[in-house]
């Protein structure tokens, strides 16, 4: 499958790129800077080469990456995510778009708190910025970036997803299951994404306080 990661030079993007490349998918790294995108793409290729893994990774501007892909991941900081999507709106047709975006504020004591946009969630804010033909899924909010990038390790985590298109959620479920031992739990429509987003600052705070890589597992 052709997968683009807009803002694919960030932390969570690395693990997704490496793991999906290992599974044989074609990857497009998007960035505001074509030079930066190509540079990071080459770094990912070199890491995979060292592990004996062939890959097809290309770097390009965000708009071009979105046009190339069947699935687009919005791995962009929350303060820029919706605006970036609006700027390249014409690059979207009927792709599946995935948002792991969570809007958080950091207090003076270094703790994070959930600070949703007026829409109620980052997912709904991004949905408003996209064409109606796009199928939006909310997922991957709580995956620890450091552990995700260690592709020799299986991750025993649950990935909770929300979305209004059942076929799109099935596609993202299959892509997630390409990362061994990950389980997908469908939480329902996109309007419920705020509940998934809201627990992300809690997990981040626990990871900082206890120097761990906590995520989510339902039993």
Paired with 161 in beta bridges are: 186
Residues 6+ apart with CB under 8 A from 139: 98, 99, 100, 159, 160, 161, 162, 172, 176, 184
Q: What is the pTM of this model?
A: 0.96
List the chain domain ranges. 2-210
Architecture of domain 2-210: 3-Layer(aba) Sandwich (3.40)
Tens digit of each residue's pLDDT (9 = 90 or more) over 136-186: 999 999 999 989 999 999 999 999 999 999 999 999 999 999 999 999 999
Would you state the structure tokens that stand for residue 24, as one six-digit string? Answer: 């044989």
Tens digit of each residue's pLDDT (9 = 90 or more) over 84-133: 999 999 999 999 999 999 999 999 898 999 999 999 999 999 999 999 99
């Amino acid at each position: 499958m052709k997968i683009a990661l807009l803002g694919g030079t960030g932390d969570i993007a690395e693990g997704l790129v490496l793991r999906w490349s290992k599974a044989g998918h074609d990857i497009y790294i998007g960035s505001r800077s074509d030079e930066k995108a190509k540079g990071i793409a080459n770094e990912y290729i070199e890491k995979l080469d060292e592990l004996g893994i062939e890959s097809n990774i290309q770097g390009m501007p965000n708009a071009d990456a979105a046009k190339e892909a069947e699935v687009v991941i919005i791995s962009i900081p929350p303060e820029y995510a919706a605006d970036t999507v609006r700027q390249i709106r014409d690059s979207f047709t009927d792709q599946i778009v995935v948002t792991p975006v969570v809007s958080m504020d950091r207090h003076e004591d270094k703790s994070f708190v959930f600070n949703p946009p007026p829409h109620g969630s980052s997912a709904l804010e991004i949905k408003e910025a996209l064409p109606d033909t796009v199928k939006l899924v909310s997922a991957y909010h709580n995956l620890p970036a450091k552990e995700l990038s260690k592709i020799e390790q299986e991750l025993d985590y649950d990935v909770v997803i929300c979305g209004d298109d059942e076929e799109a959620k099935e596609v993202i479920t299959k892509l997630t299951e390409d990362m061994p031992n990950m389980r997908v739990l469908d939480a329902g429509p996109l309007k419920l994404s705020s509940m998934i987003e809201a627990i992300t600052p809690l997990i981040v705070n626990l990871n900082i306080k206890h120097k761990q890589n906590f995520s989510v597992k339902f039993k």
